[in-house]
Amino acid sequence: MTLVVGAASALHLSGSGHEDGAAATAAAKVRATPARASVPSAATPDRLRPNRLAGRAGAATGDGALPGLGSAMLARIPREALQVILVSGPDRDANTNSVTLWQRASPVAPWTALGAPITGRNGQYGWTTTHHEGDLRSPIGVFSLTAAGGRLPDPGTGLPYEYRPTFYRTAAPQGLPMADAFNYVVAIDYNRLPGQPPSDPTRPLGDDVGGDIWLHVDHRTPTRGCVAVQQDALASIMRWLTPRAHPMIVMGDAAELDLET
């Protein structure tokens, strides 16, 4: 199966493709059958923030707390998480953001910053707590990072890596930024099965809440819901990520991220 996208957007599979997507080819319209799973009711808040790992002990607070995060978001970071990517937009409608990397030696150790902040991009119309397909906003929340892939060979990540040049491909002419958008991707576990490759089309909560939200290479324009950073920065992030650290991404606008319970 081949993923082909236009210069401003990427193709999706049978209405379930990449959030930076346009229309699927006829050959790509067969969806995988989702595995049976316990799915939150459409009436519950969990449906708005899929795969949030509810019920786990939250992150350590105190002097080592993550700057800019209030108790509501901190409580959603699993205790076992030792790596966090923090993506913070200046306001709800902003489509650029600051990306910072955080790590800790153990669940009771303080968080420490790794490197300098990175400028990133997100959905064209900013952020939302009620993401749906095609709204051009990025979902706010705390999500695990369990798989990566791309059209280029594995840059050295510890995550499972899906190397599929014929899938992670755009229709943009070579030399244009969009052509490189999927050189590397890290799947953000929003409405997907954690641990499955980024190309897996399964959306446990259905198509209406969107899906295929990725961390991918910046194409110099806002995204349709993903988070994008420069390729060199993304390659470095991927080499840093490791499953044994249970990496998470915390993303949203500054005001939402700073809410207290």
Residues 6+ apart with CB under 8 A from 102: 66, 83, 84, 85, 86, 111, 112, 113, 114
129-165, pLDDT tens digit by residue? Answer: 999 999 999 999 999 999 999 999 999 999 999 999 9
DSSP 245: G
| Average pLDDT score over the chain | 81
Per-residue pLDDT tens over the stretch 1-40: 333 332 223 323 223 346 663 322 222 323 333 333 322 2
Q: Which amino acid is at 170?
A: T
Structure tokens at 162: 């899906």
pLDDT for the residue numbered 177: 77
Output the pTM of the full model.
Answer: 0.80
